[in-house]
Amino acid sequence: MKTNRKFEHFVAPVEETPLLATDAVKVDEAPLSLWADAWRKLRRRPLFIISAVMIALIIVVAVFPGLFTQVAPDNGCELANSNGAPTEGHPLGFTFQGCDIYSRIIHGTQASLMVGVFSVISVLIIGVTFGALAGFFGGWVDTFFARLGDIFFALPIVLGALVLTQLPLMRENRGVGTVVLVLVVLGWPQMARITRGAVIEVRNADFVTAARSLGVSKMGSLLSHVLPNALAPIIVLATMELGVFIVAEATLSFLGIGMPGSVMSWGNDISAAQSSIRTNPAVLLYPATALSITVLSFIMLGDALRDALDPKSRQR
């Protein structure tokens, strides 16, 4: 049965609604890109500012150690100063061998930072290449790199380093290059997996399909359109892994399979402090503190970048 009942609808007058100011859009301003929007958020975050300042200071110390100490870290060792207390010109005291602790920490920054930087650069080259090819092309290419990565994922970093450093070529040429090579061989699969996931997420986007329809080759589309839009998680992981690799170098040096004793690094200083930990714990405390501050700085920077570049992880 049909009814002709009419229902009244109430519509609020436009002037009584507060939507005009809320919905106002500045059409004369160009939209911000992902990187411009990320920078606008980063420069307002104290976490980013603090970590960036700390990292900048660490880099200056590594590049210009002479600006912070005039004491030779290796030639000024005197057994008469063994485990000595701080004195004028030696603010942190002396090691068991009579070496200035402060000078060794300043000069040891260079080797530890070099290992982290070179390891991250090498891991980026290998991991991003393998992960991008696997994620974009799929099929047997994806299967091959996935199984190859699983092989290295199954090796714990300490166990794998023990095996690799016992090879004749590695054992006879211990140094920064050897440690970097070990960390790269064992560390690239994580970067490859993150890159693969980011590329898979971007490869089916409309702008990639449009580029392919206009005649852009697969490799050109990967390099020009997919990778630039998949860099956010890669940059975040690279920042965090830099700190992880610095810790890994210290761990390997502590175990005696990393840097040779002739190279000044925080890991070697921590290892050498074992004999004095009961009588003079400061010998261990100072290089460990420098290591912790450096790693914490890179982790803080990675957290800030993740929040700025990844909209899904931003706090609401």
- Would you say residue 26 has pLDDT above 60? no
- Would you say residue 34 has pLDDT above 70? no
DSSP string, 36-50: HHHHHHHTT-HHHHH
Query: 316, 314, 288, 283: which is closest to 112 by C-alpha?
Result: 288
Instruction: For residue 309, tell me if it sits in a domain.
Output: yes
Instruction: Give the structural domain span for 231.
Output: 35-64+102-313
Count of all residues that appear for the chain in the document: 316
Q: Which pLDDT score is estimated for 152?
A: 84
Mean pLDDT of 238-254: 88
Mean pLDDT of 23-38: 61
Tell me the pLDDT band of 39, cut-offs 50, 70 and 90.
confident
Instruction: For residue 11, tell me if it sits in a domain.
Output: no
Instruction: For residue 177, tell me if it sits in a domain.
Output: yes
Angle at 161 between CA 155 and CA 290, to 5 degrees: 115
Q: Which segments of 138-230 does DSSP mark as H helices, in order?
A: 139-153, 157-165, 168-172, 176-203, 206-213, 218-221
Percent over 70 (pLDDT), the chain? 86
- Would you say residue 40 has pLDDT above 70? yes
Token code pair at residue 242:
């830099």
- Would you say residue 29 has pLDDT above 60? no
Q: Classify the C-alpha dihedral 100-103-106-110 as positive or negative.
A: negative
pLDDT in tens, 290-303: 999 999 999 898 88
Mean pLDDT of 168-178: 81
Instruction: For residue 76, tell me if it sits in a domain.
Output: no
137 to 145, 181, 194, 223, 313: CA distances (angstroms)? 11, 28, 16, 13, 28
- Would you say residue 316 has pLDDT above 50? no
Domain at 129, CATH number: 1.10.3720.10
Domain count, the chain: 1
Higher pLDDT, 96 or 57: 57
Instruction: For residue 200, tell me if it sits in a domain.
Output: yes
| Average pLDDT taken over every residue of the chain | 82
Percent over 90 (pLDDT), the chain? 15
Q: Which pLDDT score is estimated for 177?
A: 85
Q: Which residues pair with 87 in a beta bridge?
A: 90
pTM of the model as a whole:
0.81
Instruction: For residue 7, tell me if it sits in a domain.
Output: no
Instruction: For residue 74, tell me if it sits in a domain.
Output: no
Instruction: For residue 10, tell me if it sits in a domain.
Output: no
Tell me the pLDDT band of 1, cut-offs 50, 70 and 90.
low
Q: Which amino acid is at 191?
A: M
- Would you say residue 54 has pLDDT above 90? yes
Best-predicted range by mean pLDDT (64-78, 123-137, 141-155, 261-275): 123-137
pLDDT in tens, 127-161: 999 999 998 888 898 899 888 888 888 888 878 88
Higher pLDDT, 105 or 30: 105
* Residues 203 and 136: beta-carbon distance below 8 Å: yes
User: Which of 30-44, 147-161, 278-292 is predicted least confidently?
Assistant: 30-44
Q: Which pLDDT score is estimated for 236?
A: 87
